[in-house]
Amino acid sequence: MAGDGPFKLDYAPSREGTDIVTIEPRNRLFIGGELVEPRSGRWLTTLNPATEELLAEFADGGADDVDAAVAAARRAYGSWHRRPGRERAKFLYRIARQLQERAREFAVLETMDGGKPIKESRDVDIPLAAAHFFYYAGWADKLDYAFAGRRAAPIGVAAQIIPWNFPLLMAAWKIAPALATGNTVVLKPAETTPLSALLLAEVLAEADLPPGVVNVVTGGPATGAALVGHPDVDKVAFTGSTEVGKQIQRALAGRPTRLTLELGGKAANIVFDDAALDQAVEGVVNGIYFNQGHVCCAGSRLLVQEPVLDELLDKLKARLSTLRLGDPLDKNTDIGAINSRAQLDKITELVAAGVEEGGQLYQPACTLPERGYWFRPTVLTGVTQSHRVAREEIFGPVLSVLSFRTAEEAVAKANNTPYGLSAGVWTEKGSKILWMAARLKAGVVWANTFNRFDPASPFGGYKESGFGREGGVHGLAPYVRLEGDNRG
């Protein structure tokens, strides 16, 4: 207590209770408004990656299950798309409000199933998901104003395949615009994070959403492939790895199916010597360690202007030592668990390659919990463009640091990648921000901030990071057929 010696401020394991969540031990498919047994007869399991404890079993949908789901979506489409926009809006508003009412329950579930800190699921994932439904609810009855000179009609049945890094939020990004514009949906959540989508299905049912408007088919990669290949699907929306995105694009070649892809990235976070340096450090940290770096738009390449390289690295390393890694349910935790053993192995392999290629590794000393999948926040310095860690997406809490001298060089380095999802620019000079933004080949440019999302703000990539936008009025376009549309 009172006395000499350094004072240690200990944060409480301010642990969010899990009593609020009830997880069904066996989770069936949600088709035609009902929970149904999988015709495949197969089941998979999902773990809590922070503890490796089994959370639940869930259905592994086979080709017949996918078929049933698409048929249900098709049946529901007939009446759904004829409803006035005002009515579709009211359903979406109900869903938004329910997500707000049950926010804590969803946040805890999301953290348990995926491993992300409760601080993030509570403050980012769930509020943004609700906001997405709220935003697109407002467009449902205003489509006449969204497209200059063109009337908008829905497309039909949308197959939507989402990843494990923001399970509920990705479901919201997909379902909300699809429903607002009059389409019906078959959603395929990721294999390691099916639970929040199934809880969402409960909310949809309580909102009295007509049966079949949204169907949820859980399963593994084969389930997704069956869905993409189904002949009665009019539109495919995929968020995931570039590798699988290319497979999907190939699978749909020659077919009229509409497609949008939101794939990987290797974003450059560019810090100039006239940046507000302390806030830039926060932005760099947020850019790569938010959600353990499981973010397609993560700022995984730090490009620092040489005059401030040393100072920035010192500040960065000092800041890393204050990051708290551990129990994701603890409200004070900054860095949670890696989503799966497979992902952990991938990260480990790439980092080892980085060191072998000549990068210097820095990690703060932090105790890793005994069970679960963990990776310390990592900085690799002395990295050059040719290193694997500068080119390949790691999808983990690993930052590669490169230096530059001029703005042109920064642009050239930032663009020197097949990816083009996002970029960050840190400078106090406004004209330089705009100059850089005009030249960076990225769908989202963050200036003096990073990882900011809003349902009103369109998000999506250039080049191999995908095509199509989600959010904003632009996010309606992938889900409508415009009268006089000239696309083949």
Q: Which spans of this chain sit near other proteins (rule: CB under 8 A)?
A: 1-2, 6-14, 22, 86, 89-90, 93, 119, 131, 134-135, 137-139, 141-142, 145-146, 202, 205-206, 273-280, 282-283, 322, 331-332, 407, 428-432, 434-435, 438, 448-449, 454-456, 472-473
User: By the 8 A CB rule, do 74 and 184 touch?
Assistant: yes
Distances (CA, A) of 10 to 13, 14, 289, 324, 450: 9, 11, 22, 11, 29
Residue 423: name the closest of 387, 462, 397 by CA. 462
Closest C-alpha among 411, 461, 435, 405 to residue 268: 411
Q: Would you list the DSSP string of 24-84?
A: -SEE-EEETTEEE--TT--EEEEEETTTTEEEEEEE---HHHHHHHHHHHHHHHHHHTTS-
Has 296 been annotated as catalytic? yes
List beta partners, residue 362. Answer: 379
Closest C-alpha to 44, from 32, 34, 33, 58: 58
Specify whether 262 is catalytic. yes
Burial of 451 (0-12, 13-18, 19+ CB in 10 A): buried
Nearer to other proteins (CB atom), residue 77 or residue 139:
139
Q: Name the residue nearer to other proteins (CB basis): 322 or 486.
A: 322
Q: Provide, rounded to whole angstroms, the least separation between the CB of residue 178 and other proteins.
A: 17
CB of 133 to other proteins, least distance (A): 12
Q: Which residues contact 186 (CB under 8 A, 6 or more apart)?
A: 66, 69, 70, 73, 157, 158, 159, 160, 215, 216, 217, 227, 233
Q: Rounded to whole angstroms, how far apart are CA atoms 52 and 47?
A: 6
Query: Considering 262, 393, 464, 470, which one is annotated as catalytic?
Result: 262
**Cβ-contact 132, 169 below 8 angstroms:** yes
CA distances from 450 to 198, 207, 299, 400, 421 (A): 30, 35, 8, 17, 13
Is the distance from CB of 480 to CB of 154 less than 8 angstroms? yes
Asked whether the beta carbons of 368 and 376 are under 8 A apart, the reply is: yes
Q: What count of other Cβ atoms lies within 10 Å of the Cβ of residue 148?
A: 5
State the minimum distance, in angstroms, from the CB of residue 12 to other proteins: 4
DSSP output for 411-437: HHHHH-SS--SEEEEE-S-HHHHHHHH
Fill in the amino acid letter for 362. Answer: Y
- Which of 110, 191, 296, 464 is catalytic? The answer is 296
CB 185 within 8 A of CB 214: yes
Minimum CB separation of residue 235 from other proteins in Å reads: 23
Active-site residue numbers? 262, 296
